[in-house]
Amino acid sequence: MVNISADISHFLAGIILVTSFMLLYQARMFGLLKIFAIQAIVLSMAVAWQAYIQDAAHLYITAVIALVMKGIVIPMALFRIVRNLGIHQNIEDVVGVGMTMLAGVGLTILAIMVIFPVTTGEVGVIKEDLAFAFAIILLGLLIMVTRRNAVSQIIGFMSLENGLILAATGARGMPLVVEISVAFSVLIAFFVFGLFLFRIQERFDTIDVDNLNQYRGDRE
């Protein structure tokens, strides 16, 4: 096995992509949160593996941040929010599950077709990793677009973020400052989202974002 390190990183990135697909069709709230936690844990493993093969110590910090924040703190907090708000019923999908999955497959193919020709000169990990990361980003966007529930939109955003981190660590030379600031901005975004969830539920008795639309002032 000449290139076992690259294979392992591909394997981990592939698992993250699979979890993204799982997020895409998972209709239950708690299930969604659990899958997201799994994705974050696998992400931290992938980042740690990158740190090992690139011999870059600061990536371990990124891995720890990903594990603690996205793998434990955020899912737990969302878990509590969902339980407190009493919204553990099923999620309504806008498009049917089959169509969504097909779109997800299409996006993955698109990501590969975009990334591969651009990185023809590159060798080793970067090429496939970037394609995987890009697919994860697109799937995160797809989740945000297809779901109407605010919690699942947050999950979509966070999973998009995971894709970004995967892409960033795959490329060599990403400074630590950038990653830490990104991690913190995600955390702050999470606080804002959480706060808004409470306020929305409190005021409108629903967190279906489409229902909020009728309260907009500038409607004709």
Partner 1 sequence: MTALQVILTGLVLLLCLAAFSCVIRTGKAWVRLYYGLSAIISTGLLIGAVPALLFSSGHPQTMILPVGLSWVGTHFRLDALSAFFLIVVNLGGMMTSLYGIGYGVHAAQPRRILPFFAAFLCAMNLVVIADDAFTFLLSWEFMSLTSWMLVMSNHRDPETQKAGLTYFTMAAFGTLMLLFAFGILAGADGGYSFEAIRGHSLPAWGGAIILALALLGAGSKAGLFPLHIWLPLAHPAAPSHVSALMSGVMTKVAIYGFIRIVFDLVGNRIGWWGPVPILIIGAATALIGVLYALMQHDLKRLLAYHTVENIGIIFIGLGLALAFHINGLEAGAAVAMTAALLHIFNHSLFKSLLFLGSGSVLHATGERDIDHLGGLIHRMPYTAFFFLIGSVAISALPPFNGFVSEWLTFQAILASPELPQALLKFLVPAVGAVLALSAALAATCFVKAFGVTFLGRARTAQAGTARETDRFSLTAMAILAILCLLIGILPTVAVDGIGPAVHQLVSAGLPPQGDSHSALSLIPFSSEKSSYNGLIILGFLLLAGSMTAWFIHHFASRVIRRGPAWDCGTPPESAASQYTSGSFSQPIRRIFGGTVFHAREKVDMPAPGETRAAHFSVKMSDPAWAFIFTPLNNLLEKTTERLNFLQFLTIRRYLSLMFATLIILLIMVVVWR
The residue ranges that bind partner 1 (CB under 8 A) are 107, 110, 113-114, 117, 138, 141-142, 144-145, 148, 153, 209-210, 212-213, 216, 218-220
CB of 29 to partner 1, least distance (A): 18
CB nearer to partner 1: give 125 or 137. Answer: 137
Q: Where are the alpha helices (DSSP H) in the chain?
A: 4-25, 29-54, 58-65, 74-85, 97-118, 125-146, 150-170, 176-204, 209-212
Question: Which of residues 34 and 148 has its CB atom nearest to partner 1 in the complex?
Answer: 148
What's the min distance (Å) between Cβ of 216 and partner 1? 7
**Residues 125 and 9: beta-carbon distance below 8 Å:** yes
Pair 148, 94: CB distance under 8 Å: yes
From the CB of 193, what's the least distance to partner 1, in Å?
Answer: 13
Beta carbon nearer to partner 1, 56 or 212: 212
Report, in Å, the least distance between residue 174 CB and partner 1.
23
Cβ proximity to partner 1, 173 vs 219, nearer residue: 219
Contacts of 208 (CB under 8 A, 6+ apart): 92, 148, 149, 150
Work out the angle at residue 144's Cα, subtended by the Cα atoms of residues 205 and 8, and round it to the nearest 5 degrees: 130
The span from the CA of 152 to the CA of 184, in Å, is 21
